[in-house]
Structure 1
Amino acid sequence: FRKLNPGIFYQHNSRPVIIADNLRTPENMGSVLRLAANIGASKTLFISEVAHQFKSYKIKKTASGAIEKTIWKIITYEELENELPDEYRLIALETTTGAQNIYSFEFPDKVALCIGNEKSGIRRDLLKHAKQHIYIPLPGPVTSLNTTHALSIALFEWYRQMTVKIS
Structure 2
Amino acid sequence: MNEFATILHGLKSPTNVGSIVRTHVAMGGGPLLMVGHERPWDFRKSSQAFSRKLETMCEITYVAEDAEFFDWCRAGHWGPVAIEIRPGAASLHEMVWPDRVALVLGNERDGLSEKFIEACTATVRIPQFGPVASLNVAIAHGMATYELQRSRRSSLKPIKGKYPEPLQAPSKPWNER
Secondary structure of the residue aligned to 1:95 is: coil
2:146 aligned residue (156, 160, 163): 156
Secondary structure of the residue aligned to 2:32 is: strand
User: Measured at CA, do residues 113 and 53 of structure 1 come closer, stay the same or move farther in structure 2, by a change above 3 Å?
Assistant: closer
Secondary structure of the residue aligned to 1:126 is: helix
Q: Which runs of 4+ in 1 moved over 6 A?
A: none
Q: 1 CA distance for matches of 2:13 and 2:44?
A: 11
Question: 1:1-167 to 2 correspondence within 5 Å?
Answer: 13-49=1-37, 52=40, 54=42, 56-77=44-65, 78-84=67-73, 85-164=75-154
Which ranges in structure 2 are unaligned for 5 or more consecutive residues? Answer: 158-177
Decide which structure has the larger Cα Rg and report it. Answer: 2
Residues 19, 51 of structure 2: 8 Å contact kept:
yes
Q: 2 CA distance for matches of 1:105 and 1:132?
A: 9
Secondary structure of the residue aligned to 1:32 is: helix
Q: 2 CA distance for matches of 1:39 and 1:69?
A: 12
Which ranges in structure 1 are unaligned for 5 or more consecutive residues? Answer: 1-12
User: Measured at CA, do residues 47 and 166 of structure 1 come closer, stay the same or move farther in structure 2, by a change above 3 Å?
Assistant: closer
Residues 79, 120 of structure 2: 8 Å contact kept:
yes
- What is the aligned-residue identity percentage? 23
Structure 1: which amino acid aligns with 2:144? Answer: A
Q: 2 CA distance for matches of 1:146 and 1:113?
A: 15
TM-score (norm 2): 0.78
* 1:141 Cα offset (Å): 1.4
Structure 1: which amino acid aligns with 2:145? Answer: L
* 1:57 Cα offset (Å): 2.3
Between the two proteins, the alignment pairs up a number of residues equal to 155
* 1:109 Cα offset (Å): 2.1
Residues 22, 48 of structure 1: 8 Å contact kept:
yes
